[in-house]
Amino acid sequence: MTNQSAYRLSRQMDMIMKNRTRRFKFLVRQEQLDDAFAVADEFFEWLAPEHENDTDLIVYYNEEELYALYEEKISKGH
């Protein structure tokens, strides 16, 4: 992954997490606690280290970079 791609991905994740935090706080202020806890549960699952190998987590990738990596591996005989 290039530095630019890592930076872009990091910014994207930061924006998503900031949005989810705002949504959680909004729902708490509106006293919609069940909804707020549902958001918090999802937020926790993204950050919790014990979920590192879960297959249902959201994964981001750049299609062009993934294809380039594939081509590189194929050309090296991996």
Q: What is the pLDDT of residues 10-21, one digit of tens each?
A: 788 788 888 988
Residue with tokens 């590189």: 72
- pLDDT at position 44 is 76
Q: Are 46 and 58 in contact (CB under 8 A)?
A: yes
Residue 62's domain spans which residues?
3-75
Residue in this structure with the two tokens 């872009």, named with its chain if needed: 8
Model confidence, pTM? 0.54
pLDDT given at position 2: 65
Is residue 70 within 8 A of residue 62, CB to CB? The reply is no
**33 exposure class (CB count in 10 Å sphere: 0-12, 13-18, 19+):** exposed
Residue among 10, 17, 3, 2 at smallest CA distance from 64: 2
Split into its structural domains, the chain has a count of 1
29-77 pLDDT per residue, tens: 999 999 999 988 887 766 665 655 666 555 556 677 778 888 888 888 7
